[in-house]
């Protein structure tokens, strides 16, 4: 069984975005692993495994426009089902 079930991916478009600030906030406030927060001051790509993907969405939406949101259930994928 997976510890963190949902593969959460999205893009944040905004102004004065900071990879390190985003990374620190998610790491300290949302349980999960495999965090990637990469990009520049106007566009950041997020990839994170968590059981609470809505928390990631809520935080990221507070920073700018979010789009290309993908949330996949890795437990279902592991069992050969569509995620």
* Entry pTM: 0.93
61 in any annotated domain: yes
Q: Which domain CATH number covers 22?
A: 3.30.70
pLDDT of 83 above 70: no
Taking residue 82's Cβ as centre, other Cβ atoms within 10 Å add up to 7
Domain count, the chain: 1
1 in any annotated domain: no
Residue range of the domain that includes 11: 6-76
50 in any annotated domain: yes
Structure confidence at residue 16 (pLDDT)? 97
82 in any annotated domain: no
% of residues, the chain, pLDDT over 90: 88
DSSP H or E run through 81:
none
Taking only the tens place, the pLDDT of each residue in 43-66 is 999 999 999 999 999 999 999 999
Q: Tell me the DSSP string of 42-77.
A: SEEEEEEEES-HHHHHHHHHTTSEEEEEEEEEHHHH
The whole-angstrom separation of Cα 67 and Cα 46 is: 11
């Amino acid at each position: 069984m997976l510890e963190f079930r949902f593969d959460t991916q999205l893009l944040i478009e905004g102004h004065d975005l900071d990879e390190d600030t985003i990374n620190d906030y998610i790491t300290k406030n949302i349980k999960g692993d495999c965090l990637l927060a990469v990009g520049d001051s106007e566009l950041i790509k997020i990839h994170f495994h968590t059981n609470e993907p809505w928390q990631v969405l809520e935080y990221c939406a507070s920073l700018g426009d979010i789009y290309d949101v993908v949330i996949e259930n890795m437990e279902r994928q592991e069992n050969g089902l569509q995620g």
